[in-house]
Amino acid sequence: MHILIVANRKNPRTLDALFQITAYLDSQGIGHSQMDVADLPDCAFPYDGTADTDPAGRCDLIITLGGDGTILHAARLAFALEAPILGINFGHLGFLANAAPDGVIALLADALSGEILSEHRMNLRIEVACAGDEEEPPEGPRTFFALNEIAIARGALGHIVDFDFSISDDKIASMRGDGLVVATATGSTAYALSAGGPLVGPSHRGMIAVPLAPHTLNSRAIVAEHHDVVEVRFAEGSSSAREASLFADGDALAFERPLESVTVSVGEHPTTLLTCRQESFYKQVSRTFFD
Residues 185 and 197 in one domain: yes
List the domain range (segments joined by +) for residue 212.
124-266
CATH code, 182? 2.60.200.30
* Global pTM value: 0.93
How do strand 124-130 and strand 143-146 relate by DSSP bridges? antiparallel
Residues labelled catalytic: 68
* Helix 104-112 with 13-27: angle, nearest 10 deg: 40
Segment 243-260 shows an average pLDDT of: 94
On the question of pLDDT at 94 being above 50, the answer is yes
Residues 19 and 71 in one domain: yes
Segment 168-176 shows an average pLDDT of: 96
Residue-wise pLDDT for 28-58, tens only, equals 999 999 999 999 988 888 887 665 555 546 7
On the question of pLDDT at 255 being above 70, the answer is yes
Residues 229 and 149 in one domain: yes
Q: Which residues pair with 162 in a beta bridge?
A: 176
Residues 282 and 246 in one domain: no
Residues 109 and 138 in one domain: no
Nearest-angstrom CA–CA distance, 212 and 177: 6
Nearest-angstrom CA–CA distance, 53 and 36: 12
Residue type, position 184, single letter: T
Query: pLDDT over 90 for what percent of the chain?
Result: 77
Closest to 5 measured CA to CA, from 40, 33, 37: 33
- Report the phi/psi class of residue 29: left, alpha or beta, with left for phi > 0 and alpha for psi in -120 to 50: left
Distances (CA, A) of 123 to 151, 154, 287: 14, 24, 25
Residues 118 and 133 in one domain: no
CATH code, 100? 3.40.50.10330
Nearest-angstrom CA–CA distance, 71 and 7: 10
Name which of 53-57, 63-67, 113-117 the model is least confident about.
53-57
Residues 186 and 248 in one domain: yes
Closest to 10 measured CA to CA, from 38, 33, 43: 38
Residues 36 and 69 in one domain: yes
On the question of pLDDT at 177 being above 90, the answer is yes
User: For the chain, how far is it from start to end, CA to CA, in angstroms?
Assistant: 42
DSSP label at 6?
E
Residues 64 and 188 in one domain: no
Please check whether residue 149 is in contact with residue 252, taking contact to mean a CB–CB distance below 8 angstroms.
no
Residues 242 and 134 in one domain: yes
Residues 156 and 235 in one domain: yes
Residues 278 and 260 in one domain: no
> What's the number of domains the chain is made of?
2
